[in-house]
């Protein structure tokens, strides 16, 4: 069974396609909400004077980062790719889908390479006014902006088809049809 036939037969089932889309929307919006919570926690913790609240708050951020953000980010990426493969939008056919994929990858890189380390540093230095606190707020603002932009792209679907998407709009019969040789006029057969 070819790749295209597998995609059509399994991924194109309406119930499966809708279920994957529901998972994708739920985890994506959940990730956006978690970023908002992390911003609010970061702002509150930066301005509090109570060391117990500061320590507990950064512990909560670490729990969210380790236990929720990483799995939600991976599930967002995976469900988005599966959703694209199971729909007519595809993954490489439209510029808005590619941009959304890029934004999600940037948000993941921001979380894995920066926010994760900064959360650990903030927890380690919860007793003092460490400069990482400001970075943690800025990094979470960046994550929120990236995820909000991806959400907007999902709604408005701007731009158009990629070159690959334009090629795929040509009917398959026209793409694979052999060229007929021109008939010579005149003469007898």
In this model, does residue 182 exceed pLDDT 70?
A: no
The pair of structure tokens assigned to 47 is: 């301005």
pLDDT digits (tens, 9 = 90+) for 47-90: 998 999 999 999 999 999 999 999 999 999 999 999 998 888 88
Please tell me the predicted confidence (pLDDT) of residue 175: 52
Whether 144 and 36 have beta carbons less than 8 Å apart is answered as yes
> Which conformational region is residue 159 in: left (phi greater than 0), alpha (psi within -120 to 50 degrees), or beta?
left
Long-range contacts of 102-105 (CB under 8 A, 24+ apart): 103/146, 103/147, 103/149, 103/150, 103/153, 104/73, 104/76, 104/77, 104/80, 104/146, 104/147, 104/150, 105/77
110's CB contacts (< 8 A; 6+ apart) are 139, 142, 143, 146
C-alpha–C-alpha distance, residues 110 and 102, integer Å: 12
Please tell me the predicted confidence (pLDDT) of residue 2: 55
Please tell me the predicted confidence (pLDDT) of residue 140: 97
Q: How confident is the model at residue 13 (pLDDT cuts 50, 70, 90)?
A: confident
Please tell me the predicted confidence (pLDDT) of residue 69: 94
Using a cut of 0.85, tell me whether the model's pTM lies above it.
no
Q: How confident is the model at residue 169 (pLDDT cuts 50, 70, 90)?
A: low
C-alpha–C-alpha distance, residues 38 and 141, integer Å: 9
Tell me the percentage of the chain whose pLDDT exceeds 70.
83
Please tell me the predicted confidence (pLDDT) of residue 172: 56
Whether 61 and 41 have beta carbons less than 8 Å apart is answered as yes
pLDDT, mean of residues 82-106: 92
pLDDT, mean of residues 92-113: 95
pLDDT, mean of residues 13-23: 89
Measure the CA dihedral 57/63/69/72, to 10°: -130
Please tell me the predicted confidence (pLDDT) of residue 181: 55
């Amino acid at each position: 069974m070819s790749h295209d036939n597998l995609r059509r037969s399994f991924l194109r089932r309406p119930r499966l396609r809708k279920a994957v889309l529901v998972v994708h929307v739920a985890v994506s919006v959940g990730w956006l909400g978690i970023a908002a919570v992390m911003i609010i926690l970061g702002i509150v913790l930066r301005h509090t004077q109570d060391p117990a609240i500061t320590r507990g708050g950064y512990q909560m951020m670490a729990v969210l980062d380790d236990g929720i953000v990483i799995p939600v980010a991976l599930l967002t990426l995976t469900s988005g790719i599966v959703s694209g493969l199971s729909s007519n939008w595809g993954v490489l056919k439209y510029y808005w889908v590619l941009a959304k994929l890029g934004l999600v990858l940037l948000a993941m890189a921001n979380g894995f390479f920066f926010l994760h380390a900064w959360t650990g540093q903030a927890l380690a230095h919860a007793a003092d006014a460490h400069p990482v606190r400001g970075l943690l707020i800025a990094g979470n603002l960046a994550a929120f902006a990236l995820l909000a932009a991806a959400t907007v792209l999902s709604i408005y679907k701007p731009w158009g088809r990629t070159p690959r998407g334009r090629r795929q709009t040509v009917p398959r019969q026209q793409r694979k049809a052999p060229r007929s040789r021109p008939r010579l006029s005149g003469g007898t057969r």
